[in-house]
Chains A and B, each alone.
Chain A
Amino acid sequence: MARELQLMKGNEAIARAMIASGTDGYFGYPITPQSEVMETLMAEKPWETTGMTVLQAESEVASINMVYGGAATGKKVATSSSSPGISLMQEGLTYLAGAEIPCLVVNVMRGGPGLGTIQPSQSDYFQSTKGGGHGDYQLYTLAPASVQEMYDFVFDAWDIAFKYRNPVLILSDGAIGQCMEKLYTRDYIPRWTEEERRKNAPWGTWGKPATRDHNIITSLELDSARQEVFNHKLQAKYAEMKEKEVRYEMLNCEDADYIIVAYGSSSRIAMKAMQMAREKGIKVGLFRLITLFPFPTKQLAEVAAHVKGILCVEMSAGQMSEDRALRPLRRYHPHSRRGPGGS
């Protein structure tokens, strides 16, 4: 499929981007408001076209471990879910991070805690950017604000995941997942050939040829000194991401007296508020976060130094505005508008 203008839901865009980006496998479990991801994949039958495997698992616990098994053979494997299901996946995610397995996980957030609600929310910010599971690890976290970005970020996710051997999280929400917007599709990227897999993932477990040692995928290290060395290696990887892979968007920040900091669907609302303020002559700018980890701390601080005030807008009780990454801004007395999602 070539570049083409289409109208579709955010969840459908995720599914179509998976097929178009050469994804090898998807394993999922139904949960509102993201069930259209697997429904679209099943309806499209990509196993008949690109050869992509799609399987409905018995639980989110199983689906994230299927991602582990499949991705550890050096293939592009993904799953998607919504907040309660993502909570169930936290064990799998820390194993994936600990074994340094590239993969893609999509969270179409809904309100919590507990079973919460099926309405949109952004209250998984801490879970996504501050660990979630046990141990010192980070997921590269992308926050799409449009159906187009739902689609595009799937392609970007594979580049980052394999470059850093790290899981990538697309942190969306029920509003972006469910809304329909126009979308430009991309040219199909074929799934990797056997040669490409072996070149791009020499660490993968696909059967040991006589020419190399056996490849082992594990997050276990009983020697604590070696585990410490490994953790330093992980931290160096995250530091490199902070240095090289930060993404953000600045709108009208050059002359702004005030800036709004937001991501995902909140940034869409903030954009409209910015336009309305500008019409009234109030110089408001928008600093939109695209990567939540790594957080654009340095870039945001540079902007914040020249404004009178900062407004953090998010659909949670203030998780993003409480982020330590925003600490350098406190001296500018930011006022945080806090409101939990799902209402």
Chain B
Amino acid sequence: MNQDIEARKQELLKEGYEEVYTRTKVLTDAVMHYCPGCGHGTTHRLIAEVIDEMGIQDNVVGVSPVGCSVLAYNYFDVDFQEAAHGRAPAVATAIKRLNPDTFVFTYQGDGDLAAIGTAETIHAANRGENMTMIFVNNGIYGMTGGQMAPTTLVGMRSATTPYGRRVDLNGYPLRMTELLSTLPGTYYVTRQSVQNPAAVRKAKAAIRKAFENQRR
């Protein structure tokens, strides 16, 4: 099928069409398992495009732990490690310390980064580890079927808060971006969204900046 697409593209180019956008080679041909409408596909593409544009495909290692993005290694055509739930910042810490010239990034969800892996997240940031953490917050545990996450909003329904998140039972959603911004070891932290084209462009610029910050 991909050969068909490539052949058709060549035909169109011969007819005088100009290529203005193409899928980055840093993504594989694998069909993504993400749910329709989810921002993972967009976020994957943005990271892949940044890696492509920076010309670092041969010098980057990604880490994705347990959650929706557990199979991210099938989609990025870069060396990749799958980590235990919440432990990606610790895993990435060692990858970077032992390979200081390599670009290292983690790709984590909210349950992973802000619940089971809170300690690893905060300590990696506070040590000032020279790596990029991509935190994809959908306010829910998606892979296990929509249970309450640490970021689930007050009043928001989930499989384990069927009547909405209640502060008296579940406490408040954790604001990780603000929390990390208070740490002296954090170099750059920003919250972005991928809900419309303008936001996608801004998110990509932020990802680019986060990766560029790893240059020594």
The answer to whether A and B belong to the same complex is yes
Q: With the chains together, A67 CA to B90 CA distance in Å?
A: 9
A54 to chain B, nearest CB (A): 9
Per-residue contact bits, chain B 49-69, to A (CB 8 Å; 1 contact, 0 not): 000000001111101000000
Within 8 A of B (CB), among A77-111: 77, 91-92, 95, 99
User: Within 8 Å of chain A (Cβ to Cβ): is B92?
Assistant: yes
Within 8 A of A (CB), among B70-102: 70-71, 73, 76-84, 87, 90-95, 97-99, 102
Q: Establish whether residues A205 and B87, one from each chain, have CB atoms under 8 Å apart when the complex forms.
A: no
B97 to chain A, nearest CB (A): 5
User: Within 8 Å of chain A (Cβ to Cβ): is B45?
Assistant: no
B160 to chain A, nearest CB (A): 23
User: Within 8 Å of chain A (Cβ to Cβ): is B119?
Assistant: yes
User: Within 8 Å of chain A (Cβ to Cβ): is B157?
Assistant: no
B50 to chain A, nearest CB (A): 16
The listed residue with most B CB atoms (<10 A of its CB), out of A63, A77, A91, A218, is A218
Q: With the chains together, A24 CA to B59 CA distance in Å?
A: 19
Q: Establish whether residues B98 and A70, one from each chain, have CB atoms under 8 Å apart when the complex forms.
A: yes
Which A-chain residue is minimally distant from B120 (CB atoms)? A62
Q: A91-B84, A207-B79 are in contact. Are A69 and B92 (CB under 8 A)?
A: yes
Q: Establish whether residues B58 and A25, one from each chain, have CB atoms under 8 Å apart when the complex forms.
A: no
User: Within 8 Å of chain A (Cβ to Cβ): is B208?
Assistant: no
Within 8 A of A (CB), among B100-146: 102, 119-120, 123
B152 to chain A, nearest CB (A): 24
A206 to chain B, nearest CB (A): 6
**What is the interface residue range for chain A against chain B?**
35 or more
User: Within 8 Å of chain B (Cβ to Cβ): is A219?
Assistant: yes
Within 8 A of A (CB), among B34-59: 57-59
Find chain B residues with CB under 8 A from A277 CB: none
Q: Establish whether residues A219 and B82, one from each chain, have CB atoms under 8 Å apart when the complex forms.
A: yes
Q: Establish whether residues B94 and A58, one from each chain, have CB atoms under 8 Å apart when the complex forms.
A: no
Q: Which listed residue, A66, A92, A214, touches B93 by the CB 8 Å rule?
A: A66
Q: With the chains together, A251 CA to B54 CA distance in Å?
A: 64
Which B-chain residue is minimally distant from A206 (CB atoms)? B99
**What is the interface residue range for chain B against chain A?**
20 to 34
Find chain A residues with CB under 8 A from B78 CB: 207-208, 214
Q: Establish whether residues B119 and A62, one from each chain, have CB atoms under 8 Å apart when the complex forms.
A: yes
Q: A73-B98, A207-B61, A216-B73 are in contact. Are A66 and B82 (CB under 8 A)?
A: no
Q: A58-B120, A62-B87, A205-B61 are in contact. Are A69 and B80 (CB under 8 A)?
A: no
Find chain B residues with CB under 8 A from A25 CB: 94, 97-98
B25 to chain A, nearest CB (A): 10
Q: Which listed residue, B71, B73, B76, B97, touches A70 by the CB 8 Å rule?
A: B97
Q: A207-B79, A215-B79 are in contact. Are A61 and B87 (CB under 8 A)?
A: yes
Q: With the chains together, A99 CA to B80 CA distance in Å?
A: 12
Which B-chain residue is minimally distant from A56 (CB atoms)? B127
Q: Establish whether residues B61 and A53, one from each chain, have CB atoms under 8 Å apart when the complex forms.
A: no
Q: Establish whether residues A208 and B79, one from each chain, have CB atoms under 8 Å apart when the complex forms.
A: yes
Find chain B residues with CB under 8 A from A115 CB: none
The listed residue with most A CB atoms (<10 A of its CB), out of B60, B79, B82, B95, is B79
User: Within 8 Å of chain B (Cβ to Cβ): is A217?
Assistant: yes
Q: Establish whether residues B119 and A65, one from each chain, have CB atoms under 8 Å apart when the complex forms.
A: no
- Jot down 9 A-B pairs with beta carbons below 8 A, ordered by A: A24-B98, A27-B94, A58-B120, A62-B90, A65-B94, A69-B83, A205-B80, A207-B58, A219-B82
Beyond contacts A70-B95, A217-B80: 19 other A-B pairs, Cβ-Cβ < 8 A, are A24-B98, A55-B94, A58-B123, A61-B119, A62-B87, A65-B87, A65-B90, A67-B94, A70-B97, A71-B94, A72-B81, A73-B99, A75-B98, A95-B83, A206-B61, A207-B61, A208-B58, A215-B79, A218-B81
